[in-house]
Structure 1
Amino acid sequence: MALAKDKAQRRRPMSQINVVPFIDVMLVLLIIFMVTAPLLQQGVEVDLPEAHAEALERDQDQGEPVVVTVARDGQVTLNQGPRVNEPLDRDALSDIVAGLLSERPGVQVYVRGDRHVDYGRVVDAMVTVQTAGVARVGLITDPAEPDR
C-alpha cells in the first residue's frame, strides 16, 4: 500500500492541450473558404469582346481598380462601393464613382461591356464615369485567339 501511495504522489497532472479538435475545425474552415472564395470574387457574368491589345500595367499603389460592368441585359454594376454588383442607374453610378474618387484620387477605372450589349450603353457608362471626375477610362476585353 505504501508503494501505491508513493506512486500517486509522484504523478503530475498533464498540462498539455489537445490540439486535434482545433486542427479539425481549421481544416473545415479552410475547405469552406476555398469553396466560397471563387464565388465571392466573381461579379456579373459578361461575354467580353476579343481584341489584339496589349495588357495595361496596373498601378499597385492605387489598389484594386474600379470596374464598371455593362451586362448583356444593359444592367450597369460596380465591383466596389456600397452597392457591389447591384444594378445601378446613371445617377447612382456617378455618385458612387465620385465618392470612390474622393477616397482614392487617381484610381484606375475600367469598363467591361458584354459583346452583345448595345454599344450606346457602354458609351453611356463611360460618359457617366467621366462626368463623375475620372480622367481616363479603360476598356476590358478578352485576348484574341492568335491567327493560324
Structure 2
Amino acid sequence: MYQRKRRRPVAEINVVPYIDVMLVLLIIFMVTAPIVSQGVKVELPQGNAESLPPDSKPPIVASIDAAGQYFLNIGSSSNSEVMDLEQVSTEVGALIQLEPLRPVVVKADRTIPYESVIQLMISLQGAGVPAVGLMTDSPKEK
C-alpha cells in the first residue's frame, strides 16, 4: 500500500507586510514632523541665558509676533490662531492649575515695545504663574 508522508507544520511568520507598513509609517512621520513643529515666526533678541534643564516638562510658550499678536504654544503642540491677552492668561492659568511646576516662557519679537512684553508677563502672573521666563537666541560668534 501507498503510505502518505506526514508533513510538519511550518512555524514561520511572513514579516514582509509588517516591514512595508513600517516603511510607510516612517515616511508619513518624516513628512509630517516639520509641519507639526512649526511655530510663530519671531525674531528673538540675543543674549547669554541658561537653558531649561533637559529633564523638565516642555514649557508653555506665550508668543508675541512682530505685529503685536498673541499666540500660545503648549509643549509640542502649536496653536497658530491669534488670541487676545485675556484668552492667553485664561488658558495658561487653567494649565498651571493642572501642572503647577510646568515652566512658562515669553517669546517676543525684538521689535515689540517693552510695554507689551510687561503686560503679558503681568497678565500671566495674575493667572497664577509663579515665574515667567524670557526666551532669547544665543549670540552669534564674531
Asked if these proteins are the same fold (TM beyond 0.5), I'd say yes
Show structure 1 runs of 4+ deviating over 6 A. none
Of 88, 93, 97 in structure 2, the residue corresponding to residue 93 of structure 1 is 88
Q: In the TM superposition, what whole-angstrom CA distance separates every residue of 1:48-76 from its partner, at most 9, and x where no partner exists?
A: 1112x232343735x11111111122111
Aligned counterpart, 1:105:
100
Per the normalisation by structure 1, the TM-score is 0.81
Q: Give TM-score, length-normalised by structure 2.
A: 0.84
User: Percent of aligned pairs with the same residue?
Assistant: 43
Structure 1: gaps of 5 or more residues: none
Give the length in aligned residue pairs: 141
Q: CA RMSD in A?
A: 2.5
3-state SS of 2:107 partner: strand
Tell me the equivalent position of 1:58: 53
Contact 2:42 2:107 in 1 (8 A): yes
- Please tell me whether the aligned partners of residues 76 and 125 of structure 1 are also in contact (alpha carbons under 8 angstroms): no
Gaps of 5+ in 2: none
Counterpart check, 1:35 vs 2:31: yes
In 1: Cα distance, 2:54 partner to 2:124 partner: 19
* Structure 1 equivalent of residue 21 of structure 2: 25
Residue 111 of structure 1 contacts residue 139 of structure 1 at CA under 8 Å; is this kept in 2? yes
Tell me which amino acid in the other structure corresponds to 1:56.
Answer: S
Q: Secondary structure at the match of 1:85?
A: strand
